[in-house]
Amino acid sequence: MPDANVSSKLALSLLLIRIGVGIVFFMWTIDKLMNPEHTARVFAAFYMIPSLSVAASLAIGTIQMIVVLAFVTGTMKKYSYMAIFIMHLVSTVSTYERYLDPWTGTNLLFFAALPMLAGCWALWFLRDQDALWSIDAMRAKNQ
């Protein structure tokens, strides 16, 4: 039987990772909704989609916001945590050229994506232990 103190510390640590990752994703999502022109430039530069429309940016932002809110609240963790991991994996892989030339411009900042990607994986892998302030954990207690 796991030590309650260790379980409590793990749950708090996972909550803090979830909040930290959630803040980043929330800001990226707000950018898609508030600044669709910037989103179009990002999609052209990193995802080889040369002409993303404002409507497409808003649709992507809306869907992403639903996933981010599910993620931050610990709802449907099996799916929302994996969706966040996949979104961040695609984002990280699509910028691979920045990792090959870290000393040019602001490329060094792209390395921050790597520990965040590891955190996303850890959250998905340990999702059953991420029970602090989680909708899924509250539902499980009430059943």
**Tens-digit pLDDT profile for the chain (143 aa)?**
568 788 899 999 999 999 999 999 999 999 999 999 999 999 999 999 999 999 999 999 999 999 999 999 999 999 999 999 999 999 999 999 999 999 999 999 999 999 999 999 999 999 999 988 899 988 888 88
Residue 6 belongs to a domain: no
Residue 20 belongs to a domain: yes
131 token code pair: 């029970």
Residue 4 belongs to a domain: no
Q: What percent of the chain is helix, strand and coil (3-state, nearest 5)?
A: 80, 0, 20
Q: Which of 88, 99, 90, 98 is nearest to 121 (CA)?
A: 88
Q: What is the pLDDT of residue 46?
A: 94
The tally of domains found in the chain comes to 1
Q: Which of 137, 22, 39 is nearest to 83 (CA)?
A: 22
Residue 5 belongs to a domain: no
Residue 51 belongs to a domain: yes
Residue numbers of the domain that contains 123: 11-142
Q: What is the pLDDT of residue 85?
A: 98
